[in-house]
A and B are shown apart, each in its own frame.
Chain A
Amino acid sequence: MLLPLLVRPSLCYPPASLLLTQCVRTLRCDAGRTLHSQTEHFLRRRLPLRFQSRGTKSRSRTTRGQEEDWKTRNKTALTYIAAAGVGMIGLSYAAVPLYRLYCQASGLGGTAVAGHDTDLVESMKPVKERVLKITFNADTHASMQWNFRPQQTEIFVVPGETALAFYRAKNPTDKPIIGISTYNVVPFEAGQYFNKIQCFCFEEQRLNPHEEVDMPVFFYIDPEFDEDPRMARVNTITLSYTFFEAKEGQSVPLPGYSYN
C-alpha cells in the first residue's frame, strides 16, 4: 500500500528505467491484481507522464524560447527608453542656447536685435512719414551735487535718421566731482530700437569746480521701428539719463533689479 505512495511522487521526474524496475518490484510483491492494475495504471500514467514530461519539456522549450525572446525585446525596449531619456536631458541643455538664438533671430522677448553696426548707419534710409517725439529727462542721484538738465525738452525725429541732442551739467561745488551716468528708455519695447552712436554714459566724467559743460547724445532710431506692429501706436519715446557720483571701487548701479 505504501509502495504506490512511494512510487507516485517519484513518478514526476523519474527516468524510464527506474520506472520499469519499480514496476517489476511491484510485480514481485504480493499485490496481485491491484499491483497489476497499478502497473497498468503506472504504464498508463507513464505515457501521459511522458507526454506530460514531453509537454513540459516542449512547453519549457517554448517558454525558454519565448523567455529569451521577451528578454531580448525587453532589452531593446529598455535601451530605447534609456536613449530617449538621455536625449531628453540633452535637449533640455541644448534648449538654452537654441532659444537664445531664436530670440535674437526673431526679436521676441525684448532681446537686442543683433546686427547693430556702422554699415547699418551708413545704409539706412529715413522713414520720413513716421515722425517721433523724443523727450528728454535728466536726473541725478540724491547725493550727486551736479546740476544736470537737458537743453531741449523734446525733439522730433524720424526712424533711420541720426539725431543730436544736448544735456548740460554744472558742478556748483568747490571740489571736482566725478560722475558716471546710465540711461533708460521708455516705452520698454521701443528701447530696443533706440541706438546710441555716441553719448556720455557709462564712463566717468570729471567736472572741475564751477565748470559747466555741454554733453551731446548722438543717436538714431532703427528704421525697422516703423515695421514693428507693436510700435504702431508709439509716438513718444523718452530718454532719461541719471548721473551718479563715481567713488573709488564702486560700479554703476543699474536702475531696477537687474544687476548685470
Chain B
Amino acid sequence: MSTAMNFGSKTFKPRPPDKGSFPLDHFGECKDFKEKFMKCLRDNSFDNSQCRLQSKDYLECRMEHQLMAKEPLEKLGFRDLVDPPPSQADNNTKP
C-alpha cells in the first residue's frame, strides 16, 4: 500500500484490466483445469513458463463456458502454443 505520509510523492494509480473483469465461476466449471494448473505449478516450483499449456487450457475452458470473451489465443500471448513452430529448434522461443 502506498505509505500514508508521502503527500508529495507519486501515488500508485491502479489501472483497470485490458479486457475487463472475469465473471465468477460460481459453478466450478473450470475447476479441474485450475487444479491441473496448480498441480503443474507446484511440481515445477511455481515456474510459470512450464505451465503455460495448462493456463491455456484453463482459459479455453472459460471461453467455452461463457466465462470469458472468446478471443484468438494469439492475442492472449499463446502464439507459440497455438501454432506449431516450423523448426524444432524454435520450440522454446516465440516466433
Q: Judge whether B38 and A196 touch: CB under 8 Å.
A: no
Complex: A201 Cα to B13 Cα, angstroms: 14
Contacts A184-B1, A201-B14, A256-B2 given; indicate if A161 touches B48 (C-beta within 8 A).
yes
Complex: A128 Cα to B47 Cα, angstroms: 12
Which one of A117, A164, A195 contacts B59 once the chains associate, using CB atoms below 8 Å?
Answer: A164
Contacts A116-B18, A202-B21, A203-B20 given; indicate if A124 touches B1 (C-beta within 8 A).
no
Which one of A126, A158, A198, A213 contacts B68 once the chains associate, using CB atoms below 8 Å?
Answer: A198
Q: Shortest Cβ distance from A260 into chain B, in angstroms?
A: 7
Of the candidates B21, B38, B94, the one having the most CB atoms from chain A within 10 angstroms of its own CB is B21
Q: Judge whether A257 and B11 touch: CB under 8 Å.
A: yes
Contacts A155-B46, A162-B77 given; indicate if A199 touches B17 (C-beta within 8 A).
yes
Report B-chain residues with C-beta under 8 Å of the C-beta of A220.
Answer: 77
B-side interface residues, number (CB < 8 Å): 45
Nearest B residue to A213, CB-CB: B24
Which one of A116, A164, A256 contacts B12 once the chains associate, using CB atoms below 8 Å?
Answer: A256
Within 8 A of A (CB), among B8-51: 10-22, 24-26, 28, 31, 34, 37-38, 41, 45-49
Complex: A72 Cα to B33 Cα, angstroms: 86
Q: Judge whether A196 and B78 touch: CB under 8 Å.
A: no
Q: Judge whether A196 and B46 touch: CB under 8 Å.
A: no
Report A-chain residues with C-beta under 8 Å of the C-beta of B26.
Answer: 208, 211, 213
A112-B15, A166-B34, A201-B21 provided; 20 other pairs, C-beta below 8 A?
Answer: A121-B77, A125-B94, A128-B92, A128-B93, A155-B41, A161-B77, A162-B78, A164-B59, A184-B12, A196-B17, A197-B17, A197-B19, A202-B16, A213-B25, A218-B22, A256-B1, A257-B2, A257-B4, A258-B11, A260-B13
Q: List 22 A-B contacts (CB under 8 A).
A: A117-B18, A122-B79, A124-B77, A126-B93, A128-B92, A157-B49, A161-B48, A161-B52, A163-B55, A164-B59, A166-B37, A188-B12, A195-B18, A196-B18, A198-B21, A198-B68, A218-B22, A256-B1, A256-B11, A257-B4, A257-B7, A258-B13
- Residues in chain A within 8 A of chain B (CB atoms): 109-110, 112, 116-118, 121-122, 124-126, 128, 151-152, 154-158, 161-164, 166, 182-185, 188, 191, 195-203, 205-208, 211, 213-216, 218, 220, 240, 254-258, 260
